Amino acid sequence: MPEQLPFIDVDFIDNPEPRCPCVLLVDTSGSMSGAAIDALNSGIQQFAQELNSDNLAKKRVEVAIISFGSGVQTIQDFTSVESFVPPRFEANGSTPMGQAVVEAFAILEDRKNRYRQAGIAYFRPWIFLITDGAPTDHSTHFWRKAVDLVQAGESSKKMLFFGIAVNDADIKILNELCPANRPAMKLKGLSFRELFSWLSSSLKTVSSANPGAVGLSLPPPSGWASIDI
């Protein structure tokens, strides 16, 4: 019988640093067309550039992107900041937000399993949701499962969920997802560049700490209250 070789994950051979996974959930429904989708695309570009400017974040932060508009699509599976190529979104379709959240948890669980198998430590994963509307799957099992997953993940401190409301987004419904101590935040106008600058700064702060650290103070969002995790 041939000798069984140990499992080797090529993603981690050259970089054994702990990982900070972040899933961006991006509303690309038809209502985001025009100035909103253009500003979002510009913000994503800046997000990649700012993370790439930090040597430690380049080694530790991993980004995945799921869009929800014409269906739910994993636009970018988890990749390092160095390999991250920002997509260009187009707006069309409805808002299957609940299904998108469920998919985010699925790819996160898969990624965490790969970390464990490779012996890679990791920080609490982030799910960062941006929407300008209300979920069109609110009355489905997807929404109920999404709420349960976020509540369980937050209460066990196994993940962090952030909801960002753009334009006329239904904040009341979005807050069904968000933890009570971190309600949805309203974006000022179309300040996506400022939003993504805050997100990149926050991920730099987290990734420079030790995995499992608590009580980290994130940079204060421009015009918003500071957020502690």
Rounded to an integer, the average pLDDT of 156-161 is 94
Q: What is the pLDDT of residue 228?
A: 44
CA dist 165 and 130 (Å) reads 6
pLDDT confidence bin for 224, thresholds 50/70/90: very low
Give yes or no for a contact between 36 and 130, defined as CB atoms under 8 angstroms apart. no
User: Using the 8-state DSSP alphabet, how is residue 215 labeled?
Assistant: -
CA dist 23 and 13 (Å) reads 23
Asked if residue 4 has pLDDT above 60, the reply is: no
CA dist 218 and 204 (Å) reads 10
Buried b (16+ CB within 10 A) or exposed e, 132-156: bbebbbbeeebbeebeebbbebbee
87-121 residue pLDDT tens: 999 999 999 999 999 999 999 999 999 999 999 99
Burial of 189 (0-12, 13-18, 19+ CB in 10 A): exposed
pLDDT confidence bin for 8, thresholds 50/70/90: low
Asked if residue 57 has pLDDT above 70, the reply is: yes
Give yes or no for a contact between 68 and 99, defined as CB atoms under 8 angstroms apart. yes
Amino acid letter at 227? I
**The listed CATH number (3.40.50.410, 3.30.70.3270, 3.90.1200.10, 3.50.50.60) that belongs to domain 16-207:** 3.40.50.410
Q: How far is CA 165 from CA 19, 40, 52, 76, 131, in A?
A: 28, 13, 26, 22, 6
3-state SS assignment for residue 39 = helix
Q: What is the pLDDT of residue 1?
A: 46
Share of the chain above pLDDT 90, in %: 81
Rounded to an integer, the average pLDDT of 17-42 is 97
Asked if residue 212 has pLDDT above 60, the reply is: yes
Here the tokens at position 226 are 């500071």
Average per-residue pLDDT in the chain? 90
Q: What is the pLDDT of residue 218?
A: 79
Q: What is the pLDDT of residue 222?
A: 63
User: Which position has the token pair 């997802």?
Assistant: 177
Give yes or no for a contact between 84 and 48, defined as CB atoms under 8 angstroms apart. yes
Asked if residue 130 has pLDDT above 50, the reply is: yes
